[in-house]
Amino acid sequence: MPDRNGFTEADVPDQSGKCFIVTGANTGLGFEASRVLAARGGRVLLACRDQAKAEAAMARIRHASPRADLAVLPLDQADLASVRAAADLAAREPRIDALINNAGVMFPPLTRTKQGFELQFGVNHLGCFALTALLLPKLAETEGARVVVTSSIAHRGAKIDWDDLNAEKGYDRYRRYAASKLANALFAFELDRRLQASGSPVAAVGCHPGVASTDLGRHMGALRILLSLVRLALNSAAMGAWPTLQAAAGPATAGGYYGPTGFREFRGVSGEASPTRQARDPALARRLWDVSVAMTGIDPGLPAAA
């Protein structure tokens, strides 16, 4: 039975006739969200970098839901050319009801994207920004369509180094990850403000998974060992996907932000979460928006809200 104190996958209604794009869908939160949406009758495009892993994920979903409507959407968010190709392919779908921006990297050694951006900012924010911008016209064809942007509790206390976005002067993997997650939150709120101001039928919704046990922590080293010891106190990947599911297919509101409702939003059923004041700062968000357009060369075409 659904948990009436919050949102879980049991609360996801029938999604027949709807289509969802889930980035990073082969593992972790993306896989779990895809599994539930497919089980509820939705068509799910698994937007993944690795074809074999995406096909393996589809096989796992079909094992539980033999009639699942699934397809692979090749996507490497570390390459803007791949992002453009994915958007072009996805736009051929009859409709898209939600773009779930879930893909991300966490704490890698200093690495650069195809276009030379620091990997965490490039994949977690710029790739998300570019894919969303390119798909907005398609999303706008469907009344009530949503863009979901996944942030993290790591955005608390984060700071974007505007003078060194490409980490050419220094690189702290933890601070860079937190900055990318602050960027996600800023983007979600700014996107929704601009969509509403333009009269678009599309809504933007933010979410975060709390502290979930997923493959995202593969670069955590000793910290990963510590997390394995407290695994029982964390969200499972399935639980961590509940805020994503609420944002994409539940009773979410435009401009909303959802996450676990337990202690410090670490774990538990999904509900309204608390972004920082910085994450809601319109001036900071406008600066990020302008920088993102300049870096990607992709403009969503939405003027700033008055």
Q: Catalytic one among 171, 174, 177, 257?
A: 177
Residue 298 lies in a domain: no
Structural domain range at position 267: 9-293
- Residue 42: CA count within 13 A, CB half-sphere: 27
Establish whether 174 is a catalytic residue: no
CB neighbours of 44 closer than 8 A, spacing ≥ 6? 19, 20, 21, 22, 25, 34, 37, 38, 61, 68, 69, 70, 71
CATH code of residue 271: 3.40.50.720
Task: In whole angstroms, give the CA distance from residue 301 to residue 114.
Answer: 24
Per-residue pLDDT of 38-95, as tens digits, reads 999 999 999 999 999 999 999 999 999 999 999 999 999 999 999 999 999 999 999 9
- The pLDDT of residue 11 is 97
Task: In whole angstroms, give the CA distance from residue 119 to residue 105.
Answer: 8
- The pLDDT of residue 252 is 79
Residue 24 lies in a domain: yes
- The pLDDT of residue 232 is 53
Residue 257 lies in a domain: yes
Nearest Cα residue to 249 out of 136, 146, 133, 143 = 146
- The pLDDT of residue 223 is 55
Residues 96, 139: contact at Cβ < 8 Å? yes
Residue 19 lies in a domain: yes
Which residues does the chain have with pLDDT short of 70?
1-4, 213-233
Residue 235 lies in a domain: yes
Task: In whole angstroms, give the CA distance from residue 257 to residue 133.
Answer: 20
CA 26 to chain centre: 14
- The pLDDT of residue 1 is 37
Domain count for the chain: 1
Residue 305 lies in a domain: no
